[in-house]
Amino acid sequence: MIEQTGRPRRNYPELYILRHGQTEWNAAGRMQGSMDSPLTRLGREQAAMQGRILRSAGLSSETTYHCSPQGRARQTAELALAGLTDTPRFDNRLREVSVGEFEGMTLKDLENDWPDLMGQDSPFSWHYRSPGGEGFEAFQSRISDWLEEITGPAVVVTHGMVSGVLRGLVLGLGPDGIAKLPGGQGVVYHVRDGVHRRLEA
């Protein structure tokens, strides 16, 4: 299913982008950012589903495999990339955005403690205004640095905010367009020649 056609600034390599499966903190509604928690049973099932999607996608023999070094992404990669590679390339630039003082807190906590930050602009912009957090420009810059080094088709196991910004860069979208991209766990997004699709099992 085609989700969106963008106008990339240049021809980027073909990408298959996976967000990690559900974690214990996802299930509890807690912000993770640079912190971590293990996959739930559902999260492991989602990662296995992503593996089935990838194995049916007709990946090129030239495809390389990349992964955030954070635990939840590593767990997902072990399941999703089984039979495809035993040695994904771990890269700190694929880590989730740091949300500073928000890490470990729930959305309800944030609404109570920082009411002026919530509900402004896009539903995701508060991630980049967190006290002690990374901020959008630095976050986008490190993802762009990674993307500029990729020369062929690649599978990327990463995080929700990274996935959105990475897809947005390839599609030539600004922050507002990135915020409108679909997300989700247990899915694979395929981006090629400016066309963005969610691959089905």
Q: How far apart are CA 50 and CA 187, in angstroms?
A: 6
Torsion of CA 133, 136, 125, 120, to 10 degrees: 90
To the query of whether residue 148 is one of the catalytic residues in this protein, the response is: no
Residue type, 52: R
Characterize the bridge pairing of strands 195-199 and 188-192: antiparallel
Which one of 14, 66, 96, 159 is the catalytic residue? 96
- Asked whether 122 and 179 are in contact (CB, 8 A), the reply is yes
Which one of 20, 127, 159, 196 is the catalytic residue? 20
To the query of whether residue 127 is one of the catalytic residues in this protein, the response is: no
Show which residues are catalytic.
Answer: 20, 96
